[in-house]
Structure 1
Amino acid sequence: MASKFTLFILLILGISAFSQTKKKFTNIPSVLNGIIPNDRIDFWILVHNEYGKDKEVRTSGTKKDYVSQSSGFNLFPDEDSFYYIVYSSAGKINYVTDFDALKSFIGKIDNVEEASIAATIDGYLIDEEFKDVAANYYEDTSNYYLDLGKLTSKECPYQKKHFTLTVNKKSGTITDIKDNGTYIELYNKKCTNNPRLLKIEKKEEPKDEPKKPTKRR
């Protein structure tokens, strides 16, 4: 009996440890691929536009002709590209080109990908360059736990912080935010508050040594 109880406890602990194993978001297209549209639609297409050229990342349903868009939404700041979604509902072609429309298109949070997109709309970011600190997650039966970044300053210094967001699976709302601190802080030559520059400025200029008198023969 005792051995069965011990085995049960180990099984529960194993499940708990497994559920808390962090998984990394592969990339932003894979996150967007996880979208489950809120309403019944005929088809939808995820399009990535880079330097004016469209690439269809995902097609669901039988697509119809559509017009290429000149603007869209971006899940990562300062990129020379954007995404947009084309979909048909009741035979009418519609376009998702901003965060408000994207939020409406997603509707209820159905999975961890949609939870991370909703967080991005609220100002966080999936940082593909720093997946260990700002592009990963784990989950349990009640919540998603997202490790995401946030651009906190574009001025001097350029700065990013990372946070752990607890998202309730049932409501889709963020119930807790843990600040994990700064993971990027970059100064440039124009930064007057650059610590290295301040140290250089504080150095005293070398004093001129008195000239030794020359001996006359």
Structure 2
Amino acid sequence: MTNTIRKNIVCIFLFLGVCITAQEKKQLGSIPQILQSIIPNDRTDFWVLVHNHYGKNEELKISGVKKEYIPQSSGFNLFPEEDSFYYIAYSRAGKIDYITDLSGLKTFIGAIDNVEEAVIDATAEGYFIDEEFKNVAGNYYQDASNYYIDLGKLTSKECPYQKTHFTLTVNKSSGKVTNVKDNGTYIELYNKKCVNNPRLLKIEKKEMPADEPKKAKQPARRK
């Protein structure tokens, strides 16, 4: 075997190895880690990410020289029905402002710089990282052109309560979602009040006939 052939074979295997590695799925970080990966679209003098949990504020990230700001009483969540919230205080041209909703957060992020920002952008459209089921709704892989992100979405708040997982293809250059693949429902829950709960249907009490024929009394026997 000539040296040229050997080199070509080695290059092919290296290329295949890189391709396989690039497509290995990685778990997304926790919600605080994702929010700390934000790169603001416009230049700021300072910004701070705050997590409010049961009324207690915790500063998760401070960028720039810290300035005085007013603690906020409301904010945004990246997971439905969370018992806490996040907000961002920032200074631009000496003026303090606040981000307390997903729309404002999306504007603050602007162009998509990383997979974490792509996830936050998708969250504004109703998707979320399911931290209990990250294997189906909290991971991603990427190639040179796109991120491929597995996220969850509430597809029914009525009975049965449903979560469906999707794979979003996000173009790295434009930050746009170019494809959404529906991977099906991974959670379906019924509660006791559901009129269509199959468990309740099985244990419904059977209605007794309104009028049952009475047995005729047998005449007493004479001794």
Q: 1:53 is aligned with what amino acid?
A: K
Q: Using structure 2 for the length normalisation, give the TM-score.
A: 0.90
Extract unaligned runs of 5+ from structure 1.
none
Partners of 1:73 and 1:205 lie apart in 2 by: 50
Task: Show the counterpart of 2:19.
Answer: 16
Q: Using structure 1 for the length normalisation, give the TM-score.
A: 0.92
Task: Show the counterpart of 1:183.
Answer: 186
Alignment of 1:24-35 (within 5 A): 24-35=27-38
Q: Which of 37, 41, 46 pairs up with 2:44?
A: 41
Q: Which of 102, 115, 133 pairs up with 1:99?
A: 102
Are residues 6 and 204 of structure 1, via their aligned partners in 2, closer, same or farther at CA, if it must alter by over 3 Å? Answer: farther
Q: 2:31 is aligned with what amino acid?
A: I
Partners of 2:76 and 2:42 lie apart in 1 by: 20
Q: Which of 55, 65, 68 pairs up with 2:68?
A: 65
Q: Please state how far the C-alpha of 1:135 moved relative to its aligned partner.
A: 0.6
Q: Please state how far the C-alpha of 1:205 moved relative to its aligned partner.
A: 7.2
Q: Please state how far the C-alpha of 1:44 moved relative to its aligned partner.
A: 0.7
SS of residue in 2 equivalent to 1:37: coil
Show structure 1 runs of 4+ deviating over 6 A: 205-208
Task: Show the counterpart of 1:199.
Answer: 202
**Is 1:53 aligned to 2:60, yes or no?**
no
Partners of 1:192 and 1:92 lie apart in 2 by: 54
Aligned length: 213
Q: Please state how far the C-alpha of 1:26 moved relative to its aligned partner.
A: 2.3
Partners of 1:13 and 1:122 lie apart in 2 by: 36
Q: Which has the larger radius of gyration?
A: 2
Extract unaligned runs of 5+ from structure 2.
216-220
Partners of 2:125 and 2:16 lie apart in 1 by: 34
Q: Percent identity over the alignment?
A: 68
Report the RMSD for the aligned CA atoms in angstroms.
2.1
